Homo-oligomer: A and B are copies of this chain.
Amino acid sequence: MINTKLSVAIHILSMVATSQHQPVTSDYIAASVNTNPVVIRRISSQLKKAGLITAQAGKPGFILLKNIEDISLLMIYQAVQTQDELFSIHNNPNPQCWIGKNIQATLDQAFLRAQQALENELAEQKLSDIIQHLSTQK
């Protein structure tokens, strides 16, 4: 199971996007996510490096740098995920065995396809879709 960073990152961006009139601080976001403000700052720091938001130490709040239609879940996912590969492959299989010797390369390409299917779908979904769905909830 993949960690909650994407989940929290989307939460952060949704709040920033829908409150651009008044500054949304990490404390305020943390209260909505229900976690520690540092967790928010840590993730927002990654979103900042990815060019999705900006912020200044001392100045409260974060500012969205793109239109919500131009931010895909894939961008957010890649901003917060450190590992490139979705699936782990066991290491040091026995090269004496023909299967052990070739399994890693084989799995690499099989897993890559699966990962790309996932990423293509994440690229389709935009922050605007999330906000749209959020606001049409009961």
Contacts and interface: CB of A to CB of B under 8 A. Distances in A.
Interface of A: 1-4, 6-8, 10-11, 14-15, 18, 31-35, 73, 83, 85-94, 97-103, 105-107, 109-110, 113-118, 120-122, 125, 129-130, 133-135, 137
Nearest to A30: B94
Given A3-B88, A87-B1, A125-B110, A34 B137 contact: no
A88 B7 contact: yes
Contact of A117 (B18, B110, B117, B130): B117
Contact of A107 (B10, B34, B35): B10
| Identical subunits present | 2
A90 B33 contact: yes
Please report whether the interface of chain A is mostly helix, strand, loop or mixed according to DSSP: helix
16 contacts: A7-B87, A7-B88, A10-B107, A11-B103, A32-B94, A35-B90, A103-B134, A106-B130, A106-B134, A107-B130, A109-B133, A110-B129, A110-B133, A114-B121, A114-B122, A118-B118
**Which 5 A-B pairs rank lowest in CB-CB distance, beginning with the nearest?**
A117-B121, A102-B137, A32-B97, A118-B118, A32-B100
A90 B32 contact: no
A105 B34 CA distance: 16
A41 to B, nearest CB: 15
